């Protein structure tokens, strides 16, 4: 892991860092696990080799932005034993849940950045991420707050730079307006193309897209998720 502890990147994070008080077990998981698996950014503003973040050898690096309690991330680790996953989550309740629940034999393929994903993306090299997930993010429903949404032009620029050619970008939400927002912004960006043909595809999860309890609660409440899949366009070669 990168050992420097100061992060000079001036990204602004919105919302609370801590919700409910942590149970003793999760508090212990956070105190012991984050020093082992947490990512800190170099003080000198230098870049990070994503493959160096893991304690086990991996063939691909995936990224999940806002992993919540980590259910989806853990299921992807289970299903993809050669993949290392960087999870970005600024809220300590979610980080502690992931650290408490991730199986011991998978910890070597997990790295956690407990802050704004944009700051980490700025330190990663070009063409290094093989898949990115942005699943059920905060919708920031008020119009004046929409600039806080992760899927917006400057962050799509960051993803376009760091994702490999043909790398998949998966996005999910059960907020209709946010689903339209994510689709329009990504489709208009220019670096990604849509992989699905119609509602019969974006209304259904693919078999390798695990369901989470958060998603189940939304469905039980009458909300209908959308599952969007884009891929990074091939870069123009000189």
Domains in the chain: ranges and CATH: 24-232 (3.40.50.150)
Could you tell me which residues come within 8 angstroms of residue 4 by beta carbon, excluding any fewer than 6 positions away? 40, 41, 42, 43, 44
Mean confidence (pLDDT) of the chain? 91
Mean pLDDT of 119-141: 97
* Distance separating alpha carbons of residues 110 and 194, to the nearest angstrom: 28
Nearest-angstrom CA–CA distance, 123 and 126 = 10
| 3-class SS shares of the chain: helix, strand, coil, % to 5 | 40, 20, 45
pLDDT at 236: 85
Asked about 138 being catalytic, the answer comes back as yes
Contacts of 26 (CB under 8 A, 6+ apart): 93, 96, 97, 99, 100
Largest CA distance in the chain: 56
Among the listed residues 138, 157, 165, 208, the single catalytic one is: 138
Task: For Cα atoms 73, 17, 83, give the angle at the middle one, nearest 5 degrees.
Answer: 20
The residue assigned the tokens 């304690």 is 55
Distance (Å, rounded) from C-alpha 75 to C-alpha 205? 14
What is d(CA 54, CA 119) in angstroms, rounded to the nearest whole number?
Answer: 19
Q: 86 in helix, strand or coil?
A: strand
Q: CB 220: neighbour CB atoms within 10 A?
A: 8
pLDDT at 17: 55
Query: Considering the entire predicted model, what is its pTM?
Result: 0.90
Read off the pLDDT of residues 187-235 as tens digits, 9 standing for 90 and up: 999 999 999 999 999 999 999 999 999 999 999 999 999 999 999 999 9
């Amino acid at each position: 892991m990168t050992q420097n502890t100061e992060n000079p990147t001036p990204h602004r994070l919105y919302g609370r860092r801590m919700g409910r008080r942590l149970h003793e077990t999760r508090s212990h998981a956070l105190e012991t696990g984050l020093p082992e698996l947490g990512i800190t950014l170099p003080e000198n503003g230098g870049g990070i080799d994503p493959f160096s973040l893991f304690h086990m050898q991996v063939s691909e690096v995936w990224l999940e932005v806002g992993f919540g309690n980590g259910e989806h991330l853990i299921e992807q680790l289970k299903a993809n034993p050669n993949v290392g996953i960087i999870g970005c989550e600024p809220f300590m309740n979610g980080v502690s849940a992931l650290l408490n629940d991730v199986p011991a034999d998978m910890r070597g393929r997990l790295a956690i950045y407990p802050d704004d994903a944009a700051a980490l993306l700025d330190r990663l090299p070009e063409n290094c991420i093989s898949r990115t997930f942005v699943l059920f993010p905060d919708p920031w429903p008020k119009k004046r707050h929409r600039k806080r949404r992760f899927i917006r032009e400057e962050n799509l620029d960051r993803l376009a730079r760091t994702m490999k050619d043909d790398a998949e970008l998966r996005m999910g939400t059960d907020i209709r307006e946010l689903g339209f927002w994510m689709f329009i912004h990504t489709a208009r960006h220019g670096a990604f193309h849509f992989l699905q043909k119609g509602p019969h595809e974006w209304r259904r999860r693919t078999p390798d897209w695990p369901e989470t309890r958060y998603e189940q609660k939304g469905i039980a409440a009458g909300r209908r998720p959308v599952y969007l899949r884009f891929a990074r366009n091939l870069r123009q070669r000189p």
